[in-house]
Amino acid sequence: MAKHLNISRINELKNNANDNIESYNDPDTPNALAKFTSQIREILLADPGMLDSVPEYLPVALYERVKFSPESKRQWAHWISLNIHPSWDEFKTTIAFNNADLPLALAVRKYNEDLLIESCAVVYLLETQGDTAPKPEEDDSDGLHEHERDENDDDDTDYDSDEEGYYDQYDEDIE
């Protein structure tokens, strides 16, 4: 039987995460949010159990670091509108973690896979707040595919969206 997303919990996580993000999103200190999220990622990687008391820190840590393709955005919109909790196999094909964040994603998956999925739902909602539904097809009017336009080879911003599907490291043994 399919699991259901707990939308009230996701909305609470979203509101708490958004409060944290907004408190560090100060024009007088433009790097404050990046420093805070970097510190949170390090702390959560060292001790994922901390998420029991502050689960909103995971979406904050992943904010602007998880990417969704236009097709994935449509899938997430569908899941959220129908309260569908995706399986791991469904989930892993709809997200692209920054390569530097894979160890954190794997550690959190081992600790609490559902929280990782919920947190990515929160990141999706934070990213799409105020947006209309994703368009059915992306405009490729320049005739180039996304990976042909990607000129940034920096590992910190190397999202796995250059390839279709997912990489096997998402399925590394979590024992």
**What's the pTM value of the predicted model, to 2 decimals?**
0.75
d(CA 84, CA 10): 12
Alpha-carbon distance values, 160 to 117, 142, 164 (Å): 18, 22, 9
pLDDT given at position 2: 73
Confidence of residue 170 (pLDDT cuts 50, 70, 90): low
For the chain, how far is it from start to end, CA to CA, in angstroms? Answer: 25
pLDDT given at position 160: 47
SS3 175: coil
Q: What are phi and psi of 53, to 5 degrees?
A: -95, -25
Alpha-carbon distance values, 98 to 15, 20, 128, 162, 172 (Å): 24, 21, 19, 12, 16
Q: What is the pLDDT of residues 94-151, one digit of tens each?
A: 999 999 999 999 999 999 999 999 999 999 999 998 654 444 444 444 444 444 444 4
Confidence of residue 91 (pLDDT cuts 50, 70, 90): very high
Read off the DSSP letter of residue 130: T
Measured CA angle at 62 (ends 128, 84), to 5 deg: 55
